[in-house]
Amino acid sequence: MSEGLKQKRVAVLMGGLSREREISLKTGKAIAEALMRKGYQVLSIDVGRDIAEVLIRERIECAFVALHGRGGEDGSLQGMLELMGIPYTGSGVLASALAMDKVMTKKVFLCEGIPTPPFEVVRGCDVGKREGVVLSLSPPVVVKPSREGSTIGITVVRTAEELPAALETAKVYDDEILIEAFIKGKEVTVAVLDELPLPIIEIAPKSGFYDYRSKYTKGETEYILPARLSREKYLLSQELALKAYRALGCSGCVRVDLMVDEEGNPYVIDVNTMPGMTETSLVPKAASFAGISFDDLAERILLGASLKLGLRRDNEG
């Protein structure tokens, strides 16, 4: 299959219009270089509003989606590729949209019996009203916009007095705000590659919270591989990550983030359908520990490219 794909024009779609644009450009560059080393005909495309015209003009036959955030990771680009009949990597329209929306993700977890921290939802239009927002959850809580990644707009609220400012921050990024009970313990992440959970990484930020600075500033976070969990809780965390992957209908490679409380109980926090893919990102770290090189990982993801909705190209059907 790889030899046939090497004869086709493959686009690595990166950049885009979201707030995670710069991270996406780094991801896309690393992937494109890896695929070229593997012998693929790769064209790197910085995605703009003219992306459909660019794909047609460049006669693209397969797309590696390396976009983070809205407009690339939320199902919108995936829907366009389905209509154009261009096979693409990663999750399909529905799974991408669900995973991007943290509130909908939580609702799916509740229906599927996947442990996740208690939560409630606040509308941005209610923030700042005279009567204020009254929560049933007591601090500490985590306040986050429902549809952003890279911990953008997120705040840990430890006292009731801190809540209004946190809500105002989240409101800047989304009109739907998720308030989630804060789980004290270890943060871990499980990459799932084609339904195979990879070794678990423990994330230990020096600041005590894995925010944007901790995530993207060198030396601010320690990554422990494999995570320091008992064998029972380690296997349970991998099982829950796979269950979340399947519950949302994901495909390809995703990263599932969990919190493990002080009693060792894991809670699924988030599912990222297009995780960072630079050579120092978490998924490649886990893959390397499992014996999968970065170039092999990129190729393996590419070989899983497909159309998910069964739409045929042109007049094939």
Asked whether the beta carbons of 68 and 27 are under 8 A apart, the reply is yes
Distance in angstroms (rounded) separating the CA atoms of residues 102 and 79: 20
Q: Round to whole Å and give the CA distance between 202 and 186.
A: 7
CATH class of 119-181: alpha beta
Tell whether omega for the bond before 266 is within 30 degrees of 0, i.e. cis: no
User: Which CATH class for the 2-90+299-303 domain?
Assistant: alpha beta
**pLDDT tens string for the chain (317 positions)?**
567 888 899 999 999 988 889 999 999 999 999 999 999 999 999 999 999 999 999 999 999 999 998 889 999 999 999 999 999 999 999 999 999 999 999 999 999 999 999 999 988 777 766 456 678 899 999 999 988 765 778 999 999 889 989 998 998 888 899 999 999 999 999 999 999 999 999 998 776 555 555 555 566 688 999 999 999 999 999 999 999 999 999 999 999 999 999 999 999 999 999 999 987 789 999 999 999 999 999 999 999 999 998 766 554 44
- Integer Cα distance of 114 and 77 in angstroms: 28
pTM: 0.89
In degrees, rounded to 5, the angle at the alpha carbon of residue 104 between the alpha carbons of residues 100 and 108 is: 115
CATH class of the domain comprising 97-115+184-273: alpha beta
In the chain, where the domains are located: 2-90+299-303, 97-115+184-273, 119-181
∠233-267-164 over CA atoms, to 5°? Answer: 150
